[in-house]
Amino acid sequence: MRIDVHNHLLPEPYVDLLLEWDTPVGLEADGDDLYMVHRRSGTASVASGNRIPVNEGFVDIDARIEWMDEHDVERTLVSVSTPNPLDGTFSTDQSTRLVRAINDGYADLGSRYPDRVAGLGMLPLRDPEAAV
């Protein structure tokens, strides 16, 4: 059995929130294309125009399952890499909402694909009381 334990997938509720907000770190859509944005002053970026193209498998569970099937991966443990909800560019409220969106999104994926996908949940470290 092949299990991928280091895999990143941005769940839909998380993506939706990031697309709603105009923050220095986040996501933006340009037509059908999705980009990670990093626009903080005093930081360097390897991305052209501080935008990094997001491939389909990073946000689309069906594309991810298809990739898994093509590469004989039976299960995957997904987590968020960047944009990180604990990043200081997000307010405490935004950070907590993003963490909740991640956890809810991964719970949904786990219930839809119980034999294929598990999500690595997050804690709202900037507002620990929100975890209870």
Domain range for residue 9?
Answer: 3-23+56-131
Within a domain: residue 89? yes
- Domain assignment present for 111: yes
Query: Which amino acid belongs to residue 70?
Result: E
Q: How many domains does the chain have?
A: 1
Residue 81 lies inside a defined structural domain of this protein: yes
| Tens of pLDDT, residue by residue, the chain (132 residues) | 999 999 999 999 999 999 999 888 899 999 999 999 887 665 555 556 678 899 999 999 999 999 999 999 999 999 998 889 988 889 999 999 999 999 999 999 999 999 999 999 999 998 989 887
Q: Tell me, yes or no, whether 17 lies in a domain.
A: yes
Tokens linked to 123: 């804690």
pTM as predicted: 0.89
**Quick check: is 127 in a domain?**
yes
State how far the Cα of 130 lies from the Cα of 28, in Å rounded to an integer.
27
Within a domain: 108 = yes
**Residue 80 domain-assigned (yes or no):** yes
**Separation between Cα atoms, residue 68 and residue 66, nearest integer Å:** 5
